């Protein structure tokens, strides 16, 4: 485990922190936070979990209400899904990260990376479908039967993929452009999915998935699906798909020079009889790209509202004379005059350039519809993101639509969460996105411009006079509400979704804390995650760091060392300051071919663990100047296994320890130049995939190791030669239940051991922790169950426990829930349940 060197006692949900002086040591006290459930009476004597300013989830791509209004599901960029229930307060007041099996693996390149929830569609109040993936290589159709709690892949035909591959790979993937790539038929018998090459039809009751439409066969070969809708039932059912040609080749979703931009219509019974539709006034503008469509029932008949990029918002359906056709509803920046007259939204003189997000409900009166549109609008040379707006479009059966702005300025966004706490956002220090700038978290303020309305959802039960909406955007989720006068108020509600997906952390002291983020960030706090938000110094070169960081260590002099999934190591001697001069990251090269499993940093060396190779050493770098980094292999006998058995390191005063399952505990007393084995596990000890950790208690000269069988204590660890191990019991049993393994292990200031376990049957993806255990004192050999009730909400991350020296607290690196803090480390009795 990559802890800082420990010495004897001598930093989508966020919370306020307060300072207090305690025996000359700065401690952290959590202010009461209603968004995290209060501990039960059984918890009051044990561990409690509190959120910090660093929380999980990443950017939010899509949000969708459950059809019965019982809650909403949000899809994030790196941490799977999040559920918000209406059971306690309003939807959005509290989010719990779910779907850990969609999130990236906690050991970087060692686990599959099913990242990016791109679309969500509900079939029933409990069953929900989603598409995930960053692109052609990793896209999947997945389904959950418990509102996003757990997901499994729906087998789909392998169009163009390797023989025998029955999941969506290669060309058979989604273009990841909108949140409506999945449509459920009105009778719930079919689920339609848009891909790069065509349309899939999944029939849940038959457990079949087939391709019902291939774009190349209907004259739209370069098109990619961007939005889906299904209307009608039986023989009257019609499926609609927006397709757009990104660049004429069907491989890029950012530019438009091709001509395959259509609304396709077909009946599932005769899918090859396809009608290609496009507003007549756009017949000479084939390169105009459509963005999204939404279907709504008007007078018992379906109507489609289509955002056709910079050409405007159009309606396709029957008019008051029962004529089927297109009508321009609202103008955009490049609407041709031949499309007719229609109102336009003008926000401070800016021209509307796109309508990327839509939702609609039937409105009052005969044929009136309310459409809510999230809009991108040109704002000159906006450095980070274009300005945004949201409009309400009231569409009567006859006559012109009425466009009413609902959100036109960043200043209209509240910066306070539902419980009164400040809303934190990610901010850049340099307006030039290509510059090697640092990134930090800060309290939101008017003028923040990264909210980008990428997905909109109107709450079930909303009426035109009382709309409730959720908007998912780059920096989180907002809840909007309108009063009878039409005025909208917007409040951030995704306190736990918008900053980071931490994978590891290290602590130098009570003030200086560093955490690694799956999005290749290195978050640094210089005040113990207190009043100032953590900031982030990122290495100037990221081209080689596509797999993200996997290990971090802090040397006694404060130097931070970070290892990446690519095998490269970076260091920064002074990352604790926010000044630009402190951004002096330098590469230390690749110690060996392979993923960095762990790192240790001492006064005079850096030691890297590379499973399959061994331990490698480098003399401690000095300053920011680049020079040649020469690594030496110092322990080939500590080898582990790539993707199966990592090597875990811990550095203490005068000694450095390495632990690997099956190979035992190795020790170095000469600054990592040589290692010798001092303890071997009992013969026949099983090896559990990914796990095996070591933690130090330097005040008592002890080392603890954990594997699938349990925890072992080794006394006189710095001097013993053939060391003896004392096995700790687990809640009175000889070891862990076979359904559990121990990925997280730490020792607190008082010498008490704390262990977190996860389910052993799902090691290829982060899951909820199973239990928390702790010894009652430094001499106890029984790990008592001290699991608080709120613990089930936290997703597991290996190396997930990091002591904060001198405070009696520990960081809990809990994946999708972010960085949390374990407190109340008092004496407790054994408890179960």
Phi, psi dihedrals of residue 498, rounded to the nearest 5°: -115, 5
pTM for this structure?
0.73
**Alpha-carbon distance 49 to 811, whole Å?**
10
| Secondary structure string (H, E, C) spanning 452-505 | CCCEEEECCCCECCECEEEEEECCEEEEEEECCCCCEEEEECCCCCCCCCEEEE
**Alpha-carbon distance 73 to 75, whole Å?**
7
Residue count of the chain, please give it. 833
**Alpha-carbon distance 640 to 112, whole Å?**
20
Is the separation of the CB atoms in 55 and 450 below 8 Å?
A: no
Q: Which two tokens stand for residue 632?
A: 């030496």
**3-state secondary structure at position 218:** helix
Q: What is the pLDDT of residue 738?
A: 72
Phi, psi dihedrals of residue 129, rounded to the nearest 5°: -110, 155
Residue 283 CA, chain-centre distance (Å), reads: 41
Provide the strand spans (E) within 23-175: 25-30, 48-51, 60-65, 71-76, 81-85, 96-98, 117-122, 128-132, 140-144, 152-153
Residue 244 CA, chain-centre distance (Å), reads: 28
**Alpha-carbon distance 613 to 629, whole Å?**
18
- Pairing status of strand 455-458 against strand 468-473: antiparallel
Q: What is the pLDDT of residue 621?
A: 82
Owner of token pair 């004379």: 321
**3-state secondary structure at position 644:** coil
**Alpha-carbon distance 278 to 286, whole Å?**
9
**Alpha-carbon distance 657 to 677, whole Å?**
10
* DSSP 8-state class, residue 791: G
What parts of the chain have a pLDDT lower than 50? 1-46, 104-113, 159-176, 248-256, 379-386, 427-441, 447-448, 531-532, 540-545, 580-581, 761-767, 796, 826-833
Q: What is the pLDDT of residue 79?
A: 67
Residues with Cβ within 8 Å of residue 434, at least 6 apart in sequence: none
Return left, alpha or beta for 124; rule: phi > 0 is left, psi -120 to 50 is alpha, else beta: beta
Q: Degrees (nearest 5) of the Cα angle 674, 677, 678?
A: 120
**3-state secondary structure at position 567:** coil
Q: Is 704 exposed, middle or buried (0-12, 13-18, 19+ CB in 10 A)?
A: buried
**Alpha-carbon distance 503 to 97, whole Å?**
15
């Amino acid at each position: 485990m990559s802890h800082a060197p420990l010495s004897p006692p001598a930093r989508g949900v966020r919370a306020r922190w307060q300072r207090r002086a305690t025996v000359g040591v700065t401690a952290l006290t959590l202010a009461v936070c209603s968004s995290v459930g209060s501990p039960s009476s059984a918890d009051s004597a044990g561990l409690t979990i509190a959120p910090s300013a660093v929380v999980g989830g990443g950017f939010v791509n899509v949000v969708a209400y459950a059809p019965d209004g019982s809650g909403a599901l949000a899809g994030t960029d790196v941490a799977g899904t999040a559920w918000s229930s209406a059971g306690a307060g309003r939807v959005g007041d509290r989010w719990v990260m779910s779907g850990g099996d969609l999130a990236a693996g906690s050991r970087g390149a060692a686990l599959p990376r099913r990242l990016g929830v791109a679309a969500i569609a509900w079939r029933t109040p409990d069953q929900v479908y989603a598409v995930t993936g960053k692109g052609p290589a990793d896209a999947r159709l997945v389904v959950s039967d418990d509102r996003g709690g757990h997901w499994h892949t729906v087998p789909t035909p392998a169009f163009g993929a390797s023989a025998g591959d029955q999941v969506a790979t290669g060309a058979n993937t989604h273009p990841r452009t909108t949140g409506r790539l999945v449509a459920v038929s009105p009778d719930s018998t079919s689920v339609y999915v848009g891909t790069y090459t065509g349309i899939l039809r999944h029939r849940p009751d038959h457990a079949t998935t087939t391709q019902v439409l291939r774009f190349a066969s209907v004259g739209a070969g370069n098109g990619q699906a961007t939005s889906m809708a299904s209307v009608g039932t039986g023989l009257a059912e019609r499926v609609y798909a927006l397709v757009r040609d990104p660049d004429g080749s069907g491989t890029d979703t950012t530019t438009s020079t091709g001509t395959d931009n259509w609304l396709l219509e077909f009946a599932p019974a005769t899918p090859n009889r396809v009608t290609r539709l496009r507003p007549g006034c756009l017949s000479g503008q084939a390169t105009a790209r459509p963005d999204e469509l939404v279907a709504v029932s008007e007078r018992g008949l379906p109507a489609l509202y289509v955002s056709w990029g910079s050409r405007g918002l159009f309606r396709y359906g029957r008019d008051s004379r029962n004529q089927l056709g297109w009508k321009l509803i609202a103008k955009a920046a490049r609407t041709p005059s031949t499309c007719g007259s229609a109102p336009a939204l003008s926000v401070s003189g800016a021209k509307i350039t796109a309508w990327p997000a839509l939702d609609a409900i039937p409105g009052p009166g005969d044929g009136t519809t309310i459409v809510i549109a999230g809009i991108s609008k040109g704002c000159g040379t906006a450095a980070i993101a274009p300005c945004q707006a949201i409009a309400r479009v009231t569409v009567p059966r006859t006559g012109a639509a009425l466009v009413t702005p609902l959100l036109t300025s960043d200043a209209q966004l509240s910066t306070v969460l539902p419980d009164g706490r400040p809303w934190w956002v990610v901010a850049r220090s340099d307006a030039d996105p290509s510059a090697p700038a640092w990134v930090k978290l800060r309290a939101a303020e008017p003028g923040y411009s990264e909210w980008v309305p990428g997905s909109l959802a109107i709450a079930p039960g909303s009426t035109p006079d009382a709309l409730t909406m959720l908007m998912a955007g780059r920096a989180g989720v907002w809840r909007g509400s309108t009063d009878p006068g039409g005025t909208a108020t917007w409040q951030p509600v995704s306190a736990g979704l918008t900053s980071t997906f931490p994978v590891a952390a290290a602590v130098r002291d009570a003030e200086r804390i560093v955490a690694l983020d799956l999005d290749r960030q290195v978050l640094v706090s210089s005040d113990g995650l207190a009043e100032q938000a953590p900031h982030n110094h990122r290495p100037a070169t990221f081209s080689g760091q596509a797999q993200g960081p996997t290990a971090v260590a802090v040397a006694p002099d404060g130097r931070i060392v970070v290892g990446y999934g690519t095998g490269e190591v970076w260091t920064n001697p002074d990352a604790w300051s926010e000044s630009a001069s402190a951004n002096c990251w330098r590469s230390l090269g690749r110690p060996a071919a392979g993923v960095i499993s762990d790192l240790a940093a001492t006064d005079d060396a850096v030691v890297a663990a590379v499973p399959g190779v061994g331990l490698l050493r480098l003399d401690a770098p000095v300053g920011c100047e680049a020079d040649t980094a020469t690594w030496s292999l110092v322990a080939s006998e500590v080898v582990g296994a790539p993707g199966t058995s990592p090597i875990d390191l811990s550095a203490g005063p005068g000694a450095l320890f390495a632990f690997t399952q099956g190979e035992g505990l190795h020790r170095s007393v000469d600054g990592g130049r040589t290692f010798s084995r001092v303890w071997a596990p009992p013969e026949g000890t099983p090896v559990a995939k990914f796990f095996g950790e070591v933690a130090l208690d330097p005040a008592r000269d002890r080392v603890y190791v954990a594997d699938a069988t349990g925890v072992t204590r080794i006394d006189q660890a710095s001097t013993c030669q053939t060391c003896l191990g004392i096995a700790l019991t687990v809640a009175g049993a000889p070891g862990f239940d076979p359904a559990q393994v121990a990925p997280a292990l730490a020792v607190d200031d008082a010498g008490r051991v704390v262990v977190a376990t996860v389910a052993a049957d799902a090691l290829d993806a982060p899951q909820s922790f199973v239990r928390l255990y702790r010894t009652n004192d430094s001499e106890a050999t029984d790990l008592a169950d001290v699991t608080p009730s709120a613990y089930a909400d936290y997703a597991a991350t290996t190396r997930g426990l990091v002591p904060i020296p001198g405070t009696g607290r520990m960081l809990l690196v809990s994946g999708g829930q972010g960085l949390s803090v374990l407190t109340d480390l008092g004496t407790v009795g054994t408890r179960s349940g």
